[in-house]
Amino acid sequence: MKIKKIGVIYGGKSSEREISLKTGAVIAAALKKERYTVVLLDSAKKDFIKKLLSAKIDFAFIALHGPGGEDGTMQGLLEISGIPYSGSGVLASALSMNKIYSKRIFESNNILTPRWCVVSSAFYLLPSAFKFPVVVKPAQEGSAIGVTVVRKKPQFRKAVRNALKYNNEAIIEEYINGKEITVAVLGNSTLTPIEIVPKNEFYDFYSKYASGGSRHLIPARLPKNVVEKAGKIGLLAHSVLGCRAMSRVDMIVDKKNNIYVLEVNTIPGMTDTSLFPDAAKFDGIFFGRMLKKIIEFSVK
């Protein structure tokens, strides 16, 4: 299909709105340089659907993060409207966004993931099988929003309350001490894995988006066979969730080089500090060409 006019859907109402606005603006500017006609569409506006349908776009590039954009809802709207769009479909988006279901799928496919349990009340008692530290996170959020590393029992209830502010369920996850890495998937192959060295305790919101908040080491400081294995696991995690065109798979590699998959991001950030464009650039795929490849893989 011939694509001339692209609608970049950005903004939204989630707690990641600020980042989505930045991602959308960067994508729109790059697509214009690639000679597409581009219209920016903020999904938080009351007349969004009217503008979406009246814009008569050939393709929608979704630059939304978090609920309302990355969870299958926007994908469903575009499916009903008959508009081709970037990235994963409705089901894969919903499964990837929901850490409970994605973890169940990882486990059923023998993909190592940190031990976990679900909590829906701040009065929940941590099972005896878990020892501190643990990680507490909302079941459906991105950008490490609502995530706390709990090192001592007195901090636990506060961390659970914080996570439950964002969703009605939270995940308690064993803390894996190791190197944080991420594997970007583009089409049917992976890009060079990146090691993330955050300034803060873990790769939190500040580390992700603040200038100098983290260092991206490409390739990751790991043995060659571990790097290769991480790429294979990343592609497998992407595939078993039914993802397409692009994703970013976050992992922890422990001191014994065991690789734990944390989550799959179906709409990775595209800001100046984002990991996906860094991996693509390292592999010789500059931003505009990367976006064109995402479009190509999405409509195949």
Q: What is the pLDDT of residues 138-153, one digit of tens each?
A: 998 765 788 999 999 8
Please say if 209 is a catalytic residue.
yes
The active-site residue out of 269, 274, 278, 298 is 269
Q: What is the pLDDT of residue 16?
A: 85
Q: Are 107 and 82 in contact (CB under 8 A)?
A: no
Structure tokens at 216: 């991206």
Catalytic residue among 250, 260, 274, 278: 250
pLDDT score of 41 more than 80:
yes
Q: Is 82 a catalytic residue?
A: no
> Is 211 among the residues known to form the active site?
no
The answer to whether 203 is a known catalytic residue is: no
The average pLDDT across 227-249 equals: 98
Decide if pLDDT at 248 tops 90.
yes
Read off the pLDDT of each residue in 156-180 and give the average, rounded to a whole number.
92
Q: Return the percentage of the chain with pLDDT > 70, whole number.
A: 94
Domains (ranges, CATH) in the chain? 5-85 (3.40.50.20), 95-113+176-299 (3.30.470.20), 122-174 (3.30.1490.20)
Whether 120 is a known active-site residue: answer no
Catalytic-labelled residue, pool 15, 86, 98, 265: 265
- Residue 215 — very low, low, confident or very high, per pLDDT cuts 50/70/90? confident
Side-by-side strand order, sheet with 148-150? 116-119, 170-174, 134-138, 148-150
Instruction: From residue 280, give the alpha-carbon distance in Å to each of 183, 185, 186, 225.
Output: 11, 10, 9, 21
Tell me which of 43, 98, 143, 214 is the catalytic residue: 143
Active-site residue flag, 16: yes
Q: Active-site residue among 10, 12, 16, 68?
A: 16
Q: How many CB atoms lie within 10 A of CB 224?
A: 8
Contact 221, 195 (CB under 8 A): yes
206 catalytic residue (yes or no): no
Write the pLDDT tens digit of every residue in 68-122: 999 999 999 999 999 999 999 999 999 999 999 999 999 999 999 999 999 988 7
Residue 79 catalytic? no
The mean per-residue pLDDT over the stretch 159-184 comes to 93
Catalytic one among 42, 204, 263, 278? 263
Helix (H, G, I), strand (E, B) or coil at 259: strand
Q: Please tell me the predicted confidence (pLDDT) of residue 206.
A: 42
Check if the beta carbon of residue 177 is closer than 8 Å to that of residue 253.
no
Catalytic residue among 36, 85, 209, 260: 209
Using the predicted structure, report yes or no on whether residue 34 has a pLDDT greater than 60.
Answer: yes
138, containing H or E segment = strand 134-138
What is the pLDDT at residue 209? 46
Predicted TM-score (pTM) of this structure: 0.91
